[in-house]
Structure 1
Amino acid sequence: MADVRRVLVTGSSTWADQQTIAEALLEARRAAIQDGAEGIVVVHGACPTGVDKIAADWAEHNDVAQEPNPADYGTHGPNAGSVRNQHMVGLGADLCLVFIDNCASALCRRPKPHESHGAHHTADLARRDGIAVRKWTT
């Protein structure tokens, strides 16, 4: 099997800065190739908006393999996003790119502003698993 680096991309569904994500993914691909890998695979949560959508579009337009991991709300209910994030981290990655907006949930009772919950949680899980994490915030 070809040596490819797994790049886990996670972030806020409200993130709109395509250029920052594109630059981060280009840099990850360049670094992987410089280290002798054939390229990268972009691992994401398959959310139809925000970071996941931008990363998926970038991979498609740059002929880069991707591994979508949609949340299964039918099976896991309201915890589906968290279960999916734990699964993605558990699959392993060489690098985790995190793009976080402030929490925009009307249901959240924590004092604002603070970072969006899912992406922050995924970054923490990745760090605990020894995955290198690079983070951008708005």
Structure 2
Amino acid sequence: MHVSRSDDEMYAVHLMPMCDDDQIRVELHREKGLAVIEPGTGRPVRASGIQAAPAQTSWPQLSTPAAETAESQGEEIRMIAEMIPESFSHVVLVTGSRSWNDEQGMLSTFNDAWRDWGAESITRPVLISGHCPEGADAMAERLWRAAGFEIRTFPADWSAHRKRAGFQRNQEMVDAAQVFRETGAQVLCTAFLDLCRKPGCPQQGREQLMPHTPGHFSHGTIHCRDRARAAGIETATVIHPSLAPF
């Protein structure tokens, strides 16, 4: 880890890599809160819970039910093929920890996407989700359903792929997002990071957050995030507020 301090009280902390070629730099400004800077781009990564949500949001609060979600991967693949001619205007791929419980942080992330895209251009948004019954997937699906938006789910097939099921599902979600992007949709991957809480995890001694501080992010979320970035998909990384400022 390298820590530097400038005259304006800014601390730049270079943390341990999250994967082979990935680092996160944290900038802590006195009286300004926390900003996490994506390496290579200089763009800020969102740190949930650090900055107050904007007073005005564009995330709709509707009650119209969303289209029913498919319950098998085979159905999803067929549905994608059928939807290509009409396409979606905007796609959000959600990945996140099973322990994610910060709804305000997730809403703020979706609001940021709406502002970046321009609400008037969002004619048919869709959520791509791994359909985990708890944590980030379940929360995102609930929020999108309440807003009246469509959802496409990719539940992991644990019986067929066993330990690799989650990673296989992640790749299928990224592949689907790429298909939609090729039809002209704007695509964003939102990764909601919390600590790995797997009992007896063989990597529990990793110091991914800070040196001499054991802890690392959930494996599935990091994998999906990395696959999305490798595919050239814009990615918003949101860190659970309990972990900031690390």
So what's the TM-score if we normalise by structure 1?
0.92
2:75 match: none
SS at match of 1:43: strand
Q: Which consecutive aligned stretches of 4+ in structure 1 deviate over 2 angstroms post-superposition? A: 26-37
Answer yes or no: is the 8 Å Cα contact 1:32–1:38 preserved in 2: no
Q: Deviations over 1:53-80 (max 9, x none)?
A: 0000001111011111111112111211
* Structure-2 separation of matches of 1:3 and 1:132: 17
**36-45 or 68-77, which deviates more:** 36-45
Match of 2:104 among 19, 25, 32: 19
Q: Which has the higher contact order (CA 8 A, sep 6+)?
A: 1
Distance 1:62 1:35, change over 3 A: closer
SS at match of 1:92: helix
Aligned: 1:92 with 2:177: yes
Aligned: 1:60 with 2:162: no
Q: What's the CA shift for 1:31? A: 3.6
1:101 match: 194
Aligned pairs, how many? 138
2:230 match: 128
Distance 1:122 1:79, change over 3 A: same
Match of 1:10 among 70, 88, 95: 95
Unaligned runs of 5+ in 2: 1-85, 179-186, 206-213, 241-246
**53-62 or 84-93, which deviates more:** 84-93
Q: What's the CA shift for 1:28? A: 2.2
Answer yes or no: is the 8 Å Cα contact 2:88–2:126 preserved in 1: no
1:47 match: 132
Distance 1:39 1:25, change over 3 A: farther
Rg (Cα) greater in structure: 2
Answer yes or no: is the 8 Å Cα contact 1:86–1:125 preserved in 2: yes
Q: What's the CA shift for 1:20? A: 1.0
Answer yes or no: is the 8 Å Cα contact 2:127–2:151 preserved in 1: yes
2:183 match: none
So what's the TM-score if we normalise by structure 2?
0.53
Aligned-pair identity (%): 33
Unaligned runs of 5+ in 1: none
* Structure-2 separation of matches of 1:63 and 1:97: 19
Q: What's the CA shift for 1:136? A: 0.9
Is the helix fraction higher in 1 or 2?
1
Distance 1:84 1:2, change over 3 A: closer
